Amino acid sequence: MTDDSTDLSPHDAFALLGHDLRVDILLALSDADNRSLPFTELRQRVDERDSGKFNYHLSKLVDRFIAHNEDADEYRLLYPGHRVIDAIENGVFHEQVTIANVRLDATCHDCGSQLRFDYDTINAGRVSCPSCDRLLIGFPFDPGGLTDRDGQSVAVAFDRRTRSTWERARADVCPVCSGHVDAAFVDGSVDEAATHGLPVLVDFDCTQCSFFCHVPPGAMLVTHPDVVAFLTENGIDARERRLWELPFVVDPGAITVTETDPWQVAVTVAADDAARRAVFDDAVSVASFDVVR
């Protein structure tokens, strides 16, 4: 529920940030201890000598992006201000970064070749096979995640960020705006899929913002209690395996579409000589997890 008397249109909200000095004010507060500063020190940090000009632009941010404690005459970042800083520091709007051909300690499930990790800001992170040219995992990753990390560390961070994003979407909480996320099975040939070659994918689509993705059904099992217990019993810690190292996530042979109207999808989770089969119903929920006969 919102208070319409205090709402702004998106155009007006972004217009409040349409001056370099206002962005400098937010950045200065972000860098300060406790994210707060008194008026005089804040003006000094942004190096604005004209007090009237500074006060005018500061007033445009108060009660929207920053708060003013009148007793202490201090200004601090509010949550929307933090989100503006986040958008700046993640680098996605202004940085063009590339990482090429990072060799991973993992092999392709199709041809056995060594996998590689590549990244650029526009086309996201990608784990692929250079021999058969198959995309195993591809997903957006903010360029801020490359700071103070080498190529191998970026690949690990990419894996962790990707699986946490998918887990939040699976839990019906949009990882971008916290809105509701619809989930449904779709044919595996859809555009912009997070992996190629699978017969079916899970389509996540936020009902509020632009977030969407098409992910492997097996990704829904990485934190499922029965799956985690089964793998642990067989000496596999799914938390320590990358997504592209889990066959039930990226191997087309692990997935069987048994019905399409309504959807019923089976995913085989194997560990050495043991195997279990998870069966999803049309709502993308695990209906059963049984021994493979």
In sequence order, the β-bridge partners of residue 114 are 107
User: What are the tens digits of pLDDT across the range 196-225?
Assistant: 999 999 999 999 999 999 999 999 999 999
pLDDT at 56: 94
Long-range CB contacts (< 8 A, 24+ apart) of 21-28? 21/46, 21/48, 21/53, 21/54, 21/57, 22/57, 22/60, 22/61, 23/84, 23/88, 24/48, 25/57, 25/58, 25/61, 25/66, 26/61, 26/65, 26/66, 26/77, 26/81, 26/84, 26/85, 27/85, 27/88
Residue 18 has pLDDT above 90, yes or no: no
Residue 2 has pLDDT above 70, yes or no: no
Give the CATH number, domain containing residue 81: 1.10.10.10
Q: Count other C-beta atoms under 10 Å from residue 160's C-beta.
A: 14
Distance in angstroms (rounded) separating the CA atoms of residues 93 and 277: 43
CA max distance for the chain = 79
Locate tokens 């017969």: which residue? Answer: 199
pLDDT at 239: 86
Average predicted confidence (pLDDT) for the chain: 91
User: What are the tens digits of pLDDT across the range 141-199?
Assistant: 998 889 899 999 999 999 999 999 999 999 999 999 999 999 999 999 887 888 999 99
Q: Is residue 32 in some structural domain?
A: yes
Q: Is residue 118 in some structural domain?
A: no
Q: Is residue 156 in some structural domain?
A: no
**Closest to 28 (Cα-Cα) out of 16, 18, 38:** 38
Is 268 in a helix, a strand, or coil?
strand
Q: What one-character DSSP code corresponds to residue 52?
A: H
Band of residue 291 on the pLDDT scale cut at 50, 70, 90: confident
Residue 65 has pLDDT above 90, yes or no: yes
Q: Is residue 101 in some structural domain?
A: no
Structure tokens belonging to residue 21: 């000095």
Q: Is residue 131 in some structural domain?
A: no
Q: Is residue 253 in some structural domain?
A: no
**What is the mean predicted confidence (pLDDT) over 102-123?**
92
Band of residue 63 on the pLDDT scale cut at 50, 70, 90: very high
Q: Is residue 172 in some structural domain?
A: no
Phi, psi of 223 (to 5 degrees): -115, 10
Per-residue exposure over 41-51, b if at least 16 CB sit within 10 Å of its own CB, e if not: ebbebbebeee
Q: Is residue 62 in some structural domain?
A: yes
User: What are the tens digits of pLDDT across the range 31-46?
Assistant: 998 889 999 999 999 9
Task: Provide the percentage of residues in the chain whose pLDDT is more than 70.
Answer: 98
**What is the mean predicted confidence (pLDDT) over 114-142?**
93
Residue 263 has pLDDT above 90, yes or no: yes
Enclosing domain of residue 18? 10-89
Count of domains observed in the chain: 1
User: What are the tens digits of pLDDT across the range 272-287?
Assistant: 889 999 999 999 999 9
